[in-house]
């Protein structure tokens, strides 16, 4: 997943542009953005390269890194459910579905006011979907989603739509049948509110660069998404 490899994979996939959104748990993210910028300025390939960052949600209206400290970022992705990267346990009782439901919807709502452009893989929580690590006694993702406060969720969705924050649709939505069913309902509500959507490959390896997958496209068809409802960066990179 170096610069040249990603660019080559993007061109092979027929893309006209590609976004590089690194996670913050590395030293010198702002300096890393400078190196991406230097690379894209000297590149001769007919491909737009957008600089992004995927930042975990640290609290109400706050990400783990202030977007203002990343002046070269063309876009910011908020990840409200990367609980495995923090040292503290997300809920007091890891087997309590109600506590998980409260935490998940709270962190989703906490994206409001962060300055993020996109919410990555909404409600995708690895420990609940894959029951890892074993022996903890996690509830099923279906049980957790069933207990989410829909009034609180709709309020957050409305605020996000008003602020122009897009919801990502990616293959992560297909990781569990209960999550896919839940998300299709959320996507429909968000679309009715005038919300925008981002189609992301969420590629962590070259084989997924530019790939949504046929089943992801089924979700797009199921909610009747139109091209004008897609989010785009405000400006093309230089």
**What is the number of domains present in the chain?**
1
Instruction: Give one word for 224, left, alpha or beta, with left for phi > 0 and alpha for psi -120 to 50.
Output: left
Report the pLDDT averaged over residues 134-154. 95
Residue at 5 is within a domain: no
- Output the domain CATH number for residue 184: 3.20.20.140
ω into 64 cis (within 30 of 0)? no
pLDDT level of residue 238 (50, 70, 90 thresholds): low
Report the pLDDT averaged over residues 89-99. 95
pLDDT level of residue 115 (50, 70, 90 thresholds): very high
- Statement: residue 71 has pLDDT above 90: yes
pLDDT level of residue 46 (50, 70, 90 thresholds): confident
Residue at 36 is within a domain: no
Report the pLDDT averaged over residues 193-210. 94
Question: How far is Cα 158 from Cα 135, in angstroms, rounded to an integer?
Answer: 38
Give the rounded percent of residues in the chain with a pLDDT score beyond 70.
97
Residue at 90 is within a domain: yes
Per the structure block, which two tokens stand in for 12? 């092979």
- Statement: residue 15 has pLDDT above 70: yes
Report the pLDDT averaged over residues 124-141. 91
Mean of the per-residue pLDDT values of the chain:
92
Kindly report the pTM of this predicted structure. Answer: 0.93
Residue at 22 is within a domain: no
Residue at 6 is within a domain: no
Question: How far is Cα 203 from Cα 205, in angstroms, rounded to an integer?
Answer: 5
Report the pLDDT averaged over residues 2-6. 89
Residue at 16 is within a domain: no
Other residues' Cβ atoms within 10 Å of the Cβ of residue 94 = 15
Residue at 13 is within a domain: no
Question: Which residues span the domain enclosing 200?
Answer: 52-229
Residue at 238 is within a domain: no
């Amino acid at each position: 997943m170096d610069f040249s490899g990603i660019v080559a994979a993007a061109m092979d996939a027929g893309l006209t542009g590609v976004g590089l959104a690194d996670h913050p748990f590395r030293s010198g993210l702002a300096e890393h953005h400078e190196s991406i910028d230097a690379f894209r300025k000297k590149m001769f390939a007919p491909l737009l390269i957008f600089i992004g960052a995927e930042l975990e949600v640290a609290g109400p209206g706050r990400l783990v890194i202030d977007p203002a400290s990343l002046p070269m970022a063309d876009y910011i992705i908020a990840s409200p459910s990367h609980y495995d990267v923090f040292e503290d346990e997300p809920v007091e009782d890891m087997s309590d579905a109600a506590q998980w439901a409260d935490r998940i919807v709270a962190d989703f709502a906490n994206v409001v006011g962060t300055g993020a452009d996109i919410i990555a893989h909404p409600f995708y929580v690895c420990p609940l979907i894959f029951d890892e690590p074993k022996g903890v006694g996690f509830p099923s993702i279906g049980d957790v989603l069933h207990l989410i406060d829909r009034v609180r969720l709709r309020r957050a969705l409305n605020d996000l739509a008003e602020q122009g924050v897009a919801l990502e649709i990616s293959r992560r939505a297909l990781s569990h049948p209960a999550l896919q069913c839940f998300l299709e309902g959320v996507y429909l509500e968000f679309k009715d509110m005038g919300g925008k959507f981002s189609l992301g490959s969420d590629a962590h390896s070259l084989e997924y660069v530019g790939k949504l997958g046929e089943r992801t496209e089924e979700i797009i068809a199921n909610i009747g998404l139109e091209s004008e409802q897609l989010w785009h960066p405000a400006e093309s990179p230089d």
